Amino acid sequence: MHSMLSHAILILLLPLASAALIAFFLRQRGAVASYLSTGTAGAIAAISIILLQHGERFEASVEWLRFGSFTLSLGIKYDDLAALMLFIVGFVGFLIHLFSLGYMHDDSARARFFGGLSIFMFSMIGIVLANNLFMIFIFWELVGFSSWLLINHYHQKQSAADASKKAFIVNRVGDFGFLLGIVWCYWANGTVNFTELGQLGETHGLVFSTAIPLLLFCGAMGKSAQMPLQVWLPDAMEGPTPVSALIHAATMVAAGIFMLCRINVLMVADALTVIMWVGTVTALYAALCAIVQRDIKKVLAYSTLSQLGYMVAAFGLGSLTFKHEMGGAVHEMAIAAGVGAAMFHLTTHAFFKALMFLGSGSVIHGCHHEQDIFKMGGLAKKMPVTFATFTIGVLAIIGFPFLAGFFSKDAILYLAMEKNTAVFAVLALTAVLTSFYMVRLWKITFLGVSRSEDASHAHESGLVMTLPLIILAVLSIIGATGWFGLGLYPKLAGSIAELIPEAHGSAHTTIFAVSLAVMTIGAGSALFFYKTAADDTLEVKAGGLFRLLTGLKESFDKVYDYYVAKVQQRFAMLVYFLEKFVLEGAIIGGGSGLVGLVGRGIRALYTGSLHTYVYWFLLGAVVLWAFAAGLLH
């Protein structure tokens, strides 16, 4: 027990130590910093596996601050959920660190980059291990900071600087709701500790309110980039590609889903319905946007958004039977199915999306930082390892039978089919679109002939970059079969694995047929429709549709731009005017002006001539005399 707790504390503090060392001593020594950071990530991965092997679950906390009856504590809760998430963060994180060694080798600010990665690992592990909402919030903000730092890595580029600010500010909007939700939860239940909340739920002592889970969901909406706060994630692709893989695909953006699973005991049916629809709409919207992207990373970013929408929808689908069933136990189980499906997809998605991002990083690296897929082409022969692994990633995400994405997506589709037909239809359509845009990306990037100078001189990346690709490709293949077949996951995910909804009998056949059909339709039409040309076939053949989708993609940014420029800016000007003229001008300026005027008048009395003073003295004496004599009454 104690040794495992010290392991957990070690895993939390190691990356912090690494980040501090890099920040204070190794800023000019990129090579040392990169090895230190990667070594730390390796140690994290190793310790997370040791913790898994040991199989123990524990919780411990210390009091941190006390204000009267209000206490803040820092604690570690290592349960099934944390074990699974910690493994993903540690293992995928390590592979991405390894990849970064190669990808960032020639970067002049390597030390800052690896320091940022370490501080991110610290923050993310803090979220995973936190045992109460306040602690989650602290680390939540820290991941926001490290995300800002890493998106802004190429800070001399204006677009990167803008993107980092946008990510931070949009996240703040969500975090505002999150904080309100935490405070409300504390106010209503008297605790924000997950274990205590769970116990209250079991004894029916929990205050159920629709507002609390929805406010907390605002935090997830920001971090997991759900509608309408999704705008920051595509822009965040300005960061280096390993950052996109680690933070904006595999781990940080999944923190929102993780947090929802943590607070599932607070959920009520109405809140879950809202969450389900937000996820569903995000999934469809992002899939539509992904079709018209030219930038390889932007396609993957919208794909990430879409898959996050899938997870959120899966979580929201969990409890819809609650209305028809009686008793708290059913309520619990129904949500749990959502937790199982969401965490399952989170796991497999972390593997194949990290794989594809790293693959795109390898492509970008090979093509001398060209990111436009229409300027690539013919990379299959030039970069065989990247091509093979990327293909596995694509097959995994489109749900090719018996690859990772197939099982997790089916679990979600099955849940949707059982609970809500409308959601099922939208998610199935999204799956068609997913296959469509992924195959489009794959075909245009890798097949055909090279369409630019950079692409024709492309070369395969070194082993330090291809090795993580190979490992992730293997995980993308077996990452889900393990849940059922190899008996690996009961140890990894414990009870979470048992929560995954699994179709049986005729439902199984239906789901299998549906998922095969959507994959074939999407992939087949993309394969036939797109030509490996320098222009987007959709733009050439159906310009109207193309513009419609582009407009759809830009609509949110336009609305926000309009809001910021026209509404908020004008309101700010009004407030500025009030402050400048009424508060500063009239009240403060008027007061000081009056005092100044009086001072100026009185100052005029000080002529520097003694004789004037004598006259004033005389006048004063006369006034005093008159007063004493009663003349002034």
Shortest CB 68 distance to other proteins, Å: 55
Residue whose CB is less far from other proteins, 326 or 605: 605
Residue whose CB is less far from other proteins, 614 or 622: 614
582-607 as b/e: b if 16+ CB within 10 A:
eeeeeeeeeeeeeeeeeeeeeeeeee
Binding map of other proteins across residues 405-444, x = CB under 8 A, - = no contact: ----------------------------------------
What DSSP line would sit under 374-436, residue for residue? GG---HHHHSHHHHHHHHHHHHHHTT-TTSHHHHHHHHHHHHHHHH-HHHHHHHHHHHHHHHH
Shortest CB 627 distance to other proteins, Å: 21
Shortest CB 597 distance to other proteins, Å: 14
Shortest CB 614 distance to other proteins, Å: 6
Shortest CB 613 distance to other proteins, Å: 10
What is the distance, to the nearest Å, from the Cα of residue 112 to the centroid of all Cα atoms in its chain?
A: 21
Residue whose CB is less far from other proteins, 24 or 606: 606
User: Rounded distance, CA 264 to CA 262, Å?
Assistant: 6
User: Rounded distance, CA 336 to CA 318, Å?
Assistant: 7
Read off φ and ψ for residue 367, nearest 5 degrees: -95, 20
Taking a C-beta distance cutoff of 8 angstroms, is the pair 309, 419 a contact?
A: no
Instruction: Please give the structure tokens belonging to residue 627.
Output: 């007063």
Does residue 449 touch other proteins according to CB under 8 A? Answer: no
Binding map of other proteins across residues 546-585, x = CB under 8 A, - = no contact: ----------------------------------------
* DSSP 8-state symbol, 264: G
Taking a C-beta distance cutoff of 8 angstroms, is the pair 53, 233 a contact?
A: no
* DSSP 8-state symbol, 487: S
324 residue type, one letter: H
Residue whose CB is less far from other proteins, 62 or 602: 602
Question: What does the chain come to in residues?
Answer: 633
* Angle (nearest 5°) at CA 262 between 257 and 264: 90
Instruction: Please give the structure tokens belonging to residue 174.
Output: 């969500």
Residue whose CB is less far from other proteins, 602 or 629: 602
Residue whose CB is less far from other proteins, 329 or 618: 618
Shortest CB 598 distance to other proteins, Å: 13
Shortest CB 600 distance to other proteins, Å: 9
Q: Which of 176, 112, 117 is nearest to 141 (CA)?
A: 176
Residue whose CB is less far from other proteins, 545 or 595: 595
* DSSP 8-state symbol, 157: S
Residue whose CB is less far from other proteins, 369 or 603: 603
For residue 72, list its beta bridge partners.
65
Contacting range for other proteins; rule: CB under 8 A; set: 143-151, 363-371, 570-578, 597-605:
597-605
207 residue type, one letter: V
Shortest CB 612 distance to other proteins, Å: 10
Residue whose CB is less far from other proteins, 62 or 605: 605
Shortest CB 623 distance to other proteins, Å: 17
Binding map of other proteins across residues 519-538, x = CB under 8 A, - = no contact: --------------------
Taking a C-beta distance cutoff of 8 angstroms, is the pair 238, 163 a contact?
A: yes
Size of the site for other proteins (CB under 8 A): 11
Shortest CB 560 distance to other proteins, Å: 58
Shortest CB 632 distance to other proteins, Å: 24
Instruction: Please give the structure tokens belonging to residue 494.
Output: 């414990």
User: Rounded distance, CA 266 to CA 211, Å?
Assistant: 10
Shortest CB 617 distance to other proteins, Å: 10
Q: How far is CA 363 from CA 250, 281, 296, 298, 351, in A?
A: 19, 31, 9, 14, 18
User: Rounded distance, CA 443 to CA 425, Å?
Assistant: 27
* DSSP 8-state symbol, 605: T
Could you say which residues in the range 115-154 bind other proteins, by CB under 8 A? none
Could you say which residues in the range 598-617 bind other proteins, by CB under 8 A? 603-611, 614-615
Residue whose CB is less far from other proteins, 572 or 619: 619
Place of tokens 């993580």: 468
Residue whose CB is less far from other proteins, 204 or 611: 611
Taking a C-beta distance cutoff of 8 angstroms, is the pair 496, 339 a contact?
A: yes
Residue whose CB is less far from other proteins, 581 or 615: 615
Positions in the binding site for other proteins (CB under 8 A): 603-611, 614-615
